[in-house]
Copies of this chain bind each other. A is one copy, B any other.
Amino acid sequence: MWAQTIETSKVLPSTIHKVSKIFQPINIIPKAGHVKTALTSKSQRLMLDLGIIRQASPGSFHFLPLGVRALEKLTLLVDKQMSKIGAQKVIFPSLTNSNLWKSTGRLQDFGAELFTLKDRHDHIYVLSPTHEEAVADLIASVSQMSYKEFPLKLYQTTNKYRDEIKPRFGLMRGRQFIMKDLYSFDVDIEKAKETYAEVCECYNSIFNEIGVDYIKVVGSCGAMGGSLSHEYHYKADIGEDKIVSCSRCGFNANAELAGYDKCSQCGASDSITVHAGIEVGHTFLLGDKYSKALNANYLTEKGKSVPLQMGSYGLGITRILAAAIEFLAKENEIRWPISFAPYTLIIIPPKKGSKEEEVGSYLVQRVHSALESIDSLKDNMLLDDRIQMTIGRRMVDARRVGYPYVIVIGAKSMEKNPIFELHNLTNDQVLYLNEEGLLVYLRKHLEMNK
């Protein structure tokens, strides 16, 4: 929106964020000579068109300010849930020694999908897509870890890298992406299963808090190894996974694992439906594949050194962002889950020169400070201060970017008890409310989304 001429009224409140100040190059075709982006999904097109992201090279994107806000909200939501299960935040380096990957056989298994580089001493490093090797090596480096020190859960939210043969769907299959990866360590398989169940429960809470419908399915362990695996999917036509659901017993599985003909749980064949899904989370009970290969051991009560039982749990942070938009957006308008919309609410004041202009400026201040009493709106409201533009034109923009709530200060604001127009884009409602009514409605709806 930023790429427009601005005239800002001086009486607008200074603490509210302003549309005119946001770097958000909209609908601008890259100049000749610059990367032309192949559009392969709705979310990619909308996020590029509306200045949320911008392509840097194939499968690699700049996050612009609105995109960063959404990412940081999602990251914080995940952090809070992680701390509830006692998971501790760490940061592993992106570059991991290729010898670690040789030890587990994954240098070969991943093959051309790994980005590798040589340092000036000709040592080879992997630009890591995941960190099972790194974390197992970290634990192995700590000597004499006692059985009393487990379970241990370490996680990070960092950039991951994968040399995709064909990057596509924007953030959904990129070459650089942000992943939250959690690793658990337990003393035996029973305890490891308990931890696995606890983390799955936490993932359910995360996906519920995000608020986009998801399906949890039995997944395949694939190249990761291990004995048990679940996947979390968002439904979308462009999804690369096929999910098989049985309406009789409620069983869901990845078709890779279950096949299409009959339900592998209840045996029924007339109750199977298949839909496309985007994998946004994946959990693995790994066993000792990595701990054995890299000597991540602990000391038993009797002083015996035994390999730890590991779990690995991924959440595709940038992928959740894109997949949520893919699932929620209209053809030409983004819709965000309220949990990580860049701003929860935008206020559109009257046009410059209109008869409502003066009272409008005053009402912006009043409404803004009244709404700040709602915790989740603090630092979370935007003002469309481009008052040289009509309300209608700015409403079009607000709908396209998809701020969940839009407050218009229009003709009815001149009344003695001023009436505001509230658009709830999530359920397509328009309401006419006075200040008290706005507060009651928004408090109720935002508390509901907690």
B62 touches A30 (CB 8 A): no
Interface stretch, picked from A85-93, A224-232, A272-280, is A85-93
Query: With A2-B149, A54-B141 as given contacts, are A163 and B90 in contact (CB-CB < 8 Å)?
Result: no
Which residues of A (6-54) have their CB < 8 Å from a CB of B?
Answer: 6, 21-23, 25, 28-31, 34-35, 54
Interface stretch, picked from A113-121, A190-198, A321-329, A421-429, is A113-121
Question: With A and B bound together, what is the CA distance between A20 and B102 in angstroms?
Answer: 35
Q: Across the two chains, which residue of chain B brings its CB closest to A55?
A: B141
A88 touches B23 (CB 8 A): yes
A116 touches B117 (CB 8 A): yes
21 contacts between A and B (CB under 8 A): A3-B142, A3-B145, A3-B149, A5-B146, A23-B152, A25-B142, A28-B143, A31-B140, A56-B93, A57-B95, A57-B96, A60-B95, A62-B93, A62-B134, A65-B89, A71-B91, A93-B176, A94-B159, A94-B161, A95-B115, A120-B163
Question: With A and B bound together, what is the CA distance between A308 and B139 in angstroms?
Answer: 50
Query: With A30-B143, A141-B35 as given contacts, are A89 and B116 in contact (CB-CB < 8 Å)?
Result: no
Q: Which B residues lie within 8 Å of A207 (CB)?
A: none
B65 touches A95 (CB 8 A): no
A141 touches B34 (CB 8 A): yes
Per-residue CB contact flags for chain A residues 199-218 toward chain B (1 = under 8 Å, else 0) read 00000000000000000000
Which residues of A (134-174) have their CB < 8 Å from a CB of B?
Answer: 134, 137-138, 140-146, 148-149, 152, 154, 158-159, 161, 163, 165
Residue A97 at the chain B interface, CB threshold 8 Å: yes
Q: Which interface residue of A62, A117, A144, A149 has the most chain B CB atoms within 10 A?
A: A62
The one of B6, B35, B134, B137 that contacts A148, using a Cβ cutoff of 8 Å? B6
Residue A112 at the chain B interface, CB threshold 8 Å: yes
A62 touches B90 (CB 8 A): yes
- Interchain nearest-CB distance for A60 vs B (Å): 4
A176 touches B94 (CB 8 A): yes
Q: Which B residues lie within 8 Å of A69 (CB)?
A: 89
Question: With A and B bound together, what is the CA distance between A127 and B120 in angstroms?
Answer: 14
Which residues of A (56-73) have their CB < 8 Å from a CB of B?
Answer: 56-57, 60-65, 67-69, 71
Question: With A and B bound together, what is the CA distance between A23 and B137 in angstroms?
Answer: 15
- Interchain nearest-CB distance for A269 vs B (Å): 42
Per CB-CB distance, the 6 closest pairs between chain A and chain B, nearest first, are A117-B117, A63-B91, A60-B93, A65-B88, A34-B141, A25-B142
Question: With A and B bound together, what is the CA distance between A34 and B143 in angstroms?
Answer: 10
Q: Across the two chains, which residue of chain B brings its CB closest to A25?
A: B142
A90 touches B119 (CB 8 A): no
The one of B68, B138, B165 that contacts A120, using a Cβ cutoff of 8 Å? B165
Q: Which interface residue of A140, A141, A295 has the most chain B CB atoms within 10 A?
A: A141
B57 touches A175 (CB 8 A): no
